[in-house]
């Protein structure tokens, strides 16, 4: 009985972790990318008092924003690849630096 509880808690922990990473992590990175683009644009892209000129543009913010968007797109593509590979009876392997599609054992 305690073994079953241990397996259930281990599975629940994995689901919770995946949910936090994919369910909250990717939208958080997207929101930070939007904020970085606003910081990178400067001027009227940021909120400031009326009559006061906005801050100057920060090019690093634009680069950071696009980098965050690339990470989000990579996560989405990886998720779609996992779903499609499973539909074809394949599996996604992370044995190498990059993910590969392999036959299920």
Q: Kind and range of the H or E element at 101?
A: strand 100-103
Q: Which residues pair with 101 in a beta bridge?
A: 92
Mean pLDDT of 39-68: 80
Structure token digits, residue 31: 């929101």
Contacts for 89 with CB less than 8 Å, ≥ 6 apart: 103, 104
Q: What single-letter DSSP state applies at residue 57?
A: P
% of residues, the chain, pLDDT over 90: 32
Of the two residues 1 and 72, the one the predictor is more confident about is: 72
pLDDT value of residue 9: 83
pLDDT, tens digit (0-9, with 9 covering 90-100), for 72-93? 999 999 889 988 998 999 988 8
Q: What is the dihedral of CA 92, 86, 104, 9, to 10 degrees?
A: 80
pLDDT value of residue 96: 84
pLDDT value of residue 66: 96
% of residues, the chain, pLDDT over 70: 89
């Amino acid at each position: 009985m305690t073994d079953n509880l241990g397996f259930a808690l281990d599975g629940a922990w994995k689901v919770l972790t995946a949910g936090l990473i994919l369910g909250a992590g990717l939208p958080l990175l997207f929101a930070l990318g939007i904020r970085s683009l606003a910081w990178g644009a400067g001027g009227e892209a940021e909120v400031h008092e009326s009559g006061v000129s906005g801050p100057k543009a920060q090019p690093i913010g634009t680069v950071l924003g696009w980098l965050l968007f690339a990470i989000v797109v990579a996560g989405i593509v990886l998720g779609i690849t996992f779903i499609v590979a499973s539909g074809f009876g394949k599996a996604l392997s992370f044995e190498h630096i990059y993910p590969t599609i392999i036959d299920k054992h």
